[in-house]
Amino acid sequence: MAHPRLRSLIRSRRSLIARCSIALRVLAILLLSVVLTPDASGQRATVPSAPSQADLRLHGSNTIGETLAPALVEAWLARDGYRDQTRREPVFEERVISGRSGTAVRTVEVKAHGSGTAFASLLAGQADIGMSSRPVQTQEVLAGAEVIGRLDEPGQEVVLALDGLAIIVHPSNPLRGLATSQVRAVFSGRLRDWAELGGRPGRIALHARDDRSGTWDSFRSMVLGTASLSPAARRYESTVELAAAVAADPMAIGFVGLVGVNDRVRALAVSDGGAAVAPSEREVSVEDYPLSRRLYLYLPSQPTPLAREFVDFALSDEGQAIVADAGFVSQRLALHGAPLAENAPIDYRELVAGAERVSLNFRFGSGAGFMDGKALRDLDRLREFMLEGAGAGREILLAGFADSGEIGAYLAVRLSEERADYIADQLALRGLRVARSRGFGGVLPVAANDSEFGRERNRRVEVWLRPPLNRP
Q: What confidence score (pLDDT) does residue 404 get?
A: 74
In sequence order, the 6+-apart residues with CB closer than 8 A to the CB of 367 are none
Q: What confidence score (pLDDT) does residue 50 get?
A: 53
Q: What confidence score (pLDDT) does residue 259 get?
A: 87
Torsion of CA 151, 153, 157, 158, to 10 degrees: -170
Q: Cβ–Cβ contacts within 10 Å for residue 243, how many?
A: 24
Question: Residues 346-363: pLDDT tens digits?
Answer: 999 999 999 999 999 999
Q: How many domains does the chain have?
A: 3
Q: How confident is the model at residue 328 (pLDDT cuts 50, 70, 90)?
A: very high
Give 214 or 252, the one with higher predicted confidence. 252
* Mean pLDDT, residues 294-312: 97
Give the whole-angstrom CA distance, residue 20 versus residue 214: 29
CB-based contact 271:277 (threshold 8 Å) = yes
In a domain, residue 368? The reply is: yes
Q: What confidence score (pLDDT) does residue 44 get?
A: 34
Q: What confidence score (pLDDT) does residue 422 get?
A: 95
Q: How confident is the model at residue 385 (pLDDT cuts 50, 70, 90)?
A: very high
CA dihedral sign of residues 55, 81, 303, 153: negative
| Shared-domain flag, residues 39 and 184 | no
| Shared-domain flag, residues 313 and 200 | no
In a domain, residue 23? The reply is: no
- Mean model confidence pLDDT for the chain: 88
Give the whole-angstrom CA distance, residue 247 versus residue 422: 47
Give the whole-angstrom CA distance, residue 225 versus residue 215: 14
| Shared-domain flag, residues 134 and 193 | no
Read off the pTM. 0.81
Question: Residues 185-195: pLDDT tens digits?
Answer: 999 999 999 99
In a domain, residue 8? The reply is: no
What range does the domain containing 70 cover? 33-161+294-325
Q: How confident is the model at residue 213 (pLDDT cuts 50, 70, 90)?
A: confident
Main-chain phi, psi angles of 154, to 5 degrees: -55, -35
Give the whole-angstrom CA distance, residue 134 versus residue 138: 12
Angle at 298 (CA atoms; ends 297, 303), nearest 5 degrees: 120
Q: What confidence score (pLDDT) does residue 26 get?
A: 45
| Shared-domain flag, residues 176 and 143 | no
| Shared-domain flag, residues 170 and 54 | no
| Shared-domain flag, residues 171 and 277 | yes
Question: Residues 67-119: pLDDT tens digits?
Answer: 999 999 999 999 999 999 999 999 989 999 999 999 999 999 999 999 999 99
| Shared-domain flag, residues 353 and 404 | yes
| Shared-domain flag, residues 233 and 275 | yes
In a domain, residue 6? The reply is: no
Q: Cβ–Cβ contacts within 10 Å for residue 62, how many?
A: 29
DSSP state of 309: H
352: left (phi over 0), alpha (psi -120 to 50) or beta: alpha
Q: What confidence score (pLDDT) does residue 367 get?
A: 59
In a domain, residue 425? The reply is: yes
Domain with 394 in it: what CATH number?
3.30.1330.60
In a domain, residue 27? The reply is: no
In a domain, residue 385? The reply is: yes
Q: Go through the chain and tell me how many residues it has.
A: 472
Q: Is residue 171 predicted with pLDDT exceeding 50?
A: yes
| Shared-domain flag, residues 269 and 184 | yes
Domain with 50 in it: what CATH number?
3.40.190.10
Q: What does the buried/exposed string (b/e) look like for 450-469 if buried means 16 or more CB atoms within 10 Å of the residue's CB?
A: eeeebbbbbbbbbbbbbeee
In a domain, residue 340? The reply is: yes
Give the whole-angstrom CA distance, residue 113 versus residue 66: 10
Q: Is residue 28 predicted with pLDDT exceeding 60?
A: no
Q: Cβ–Cβ contacts within 10 Å for residue 202, how many?
A: 13
Closest CA to 462 of 256, 257, 321, 285: 285
| Shared-domain flag, residues 345 and 410 | yes
Q: Is residue 407 predicted with pLDDT exceeding 80?
A: no
Final residue belonging to a domain, choices 285, 316, 350: 285
149-153, 342-346, 453-457, 468-472: lowest mean pLDDT where? 468-472
Q: What confidence score (pLDDT) does residue 47 get?
A: 43
Closest CA to 118 of 156, 88, 153, 90: 156
| Shared-domain flag, residues 314 and 361 | no
DSSP state of 316: S
Give the whole-angstrom CA distance, residue 2 versus residue 417: 62
Question: Residues 226-239: pLDDT tens digits?
Answer: 999 999 999 998 99
Q: What confidence score (pLDDT) does residue 470 get?
A: 66
Most confident listed range (1-5, 212-216, 280-284): 280-284
Give 112 or 45, the one with higher predicted confidence. 112
| Shared-domain flag, residues 213 and 266 | yes
